[in-house]
Copies of this chain bind each other. A is one copy, B any other.
Amino acid sequence: MASNKEEVKLFGMKASPFVCRVEIALKLKGVEYKYEVEKFQNLSDTLINYNPVYKKVPVLVHNDKPIAESLVIIEYIDETWKQNPILPSDPSKRALARFWSKFIDDKWLDAIIKVSSTLDEKEIEKGIEETEVALQFLEGELKDKFFGGEEIGLVDITGVFISFWLPIVQEVIGLKLFTSEKFPKLYNWSQDFNNHPIVKEILPPRLETLLAFERSRSESLAASK
């Protein structure tokens, strides 16, 4: 489907795991794109016009057609550029990949937000328990080097939130949720995934991301007092 005429733009922010997912997918496919930098709390009118429902990044614009929501964008990328498939071809394996990637966004993310966005001890405790249950499910699901097998797939890309951001989040909060002792397979996966040449190229600098998370967390905790 790719042609010389086509134009691919990605509206994003460097510290966003959701944007990072889309970048990994585009790089895996070898699709060239223009990165349009958006600023947190000061989004461009163009972005809001492209995503009036959620008013957030990432938005992929392909030949003037905007697509929002990271997992929807990744499926679009996989269907538009066929090389290096991100989803398996077998329908039941595709269903499993969608199930676990939705699980990361629904269950795991919900739990870690509980841990990181409050100072209420009971709420944090509940969040820690739910995070660990979710990680345990993923630990059990990991059968090969990657969730996608020998190559990176949908669940791996969705899981960049766990491989790269979770260690940062736990460092800021001062917890040890995700360790090689508790989740040996998942921990190894996170190292392999973060060190995959394409992923490594896309990931933002660790210290910068840590400081940005620390700052935004302090601000939102202060605002919620």
Contact = CB atoms under 8 A, between A and B. Distances in A.
Interface of A: 1, 53, 62, 65, 67-69, 71-73, 75-76, 79-80, 91-92, 94-96, 98-99, 102-103, 107, 137
Contact of A68 (B69, B72, B99): B99
Contacts of A137: 53
Given A62-B92, A67-B92, A98 B80 contact: no
A70 B159 CA distance: 22
Nearest to A133: B53
Taken together, the copies of this chain in the complex come to 2
Secondary structure dominating the interface of A: helix
B103 A75 contact: no
A91 to B, nearest CB: 4
B53 A72 contact: no
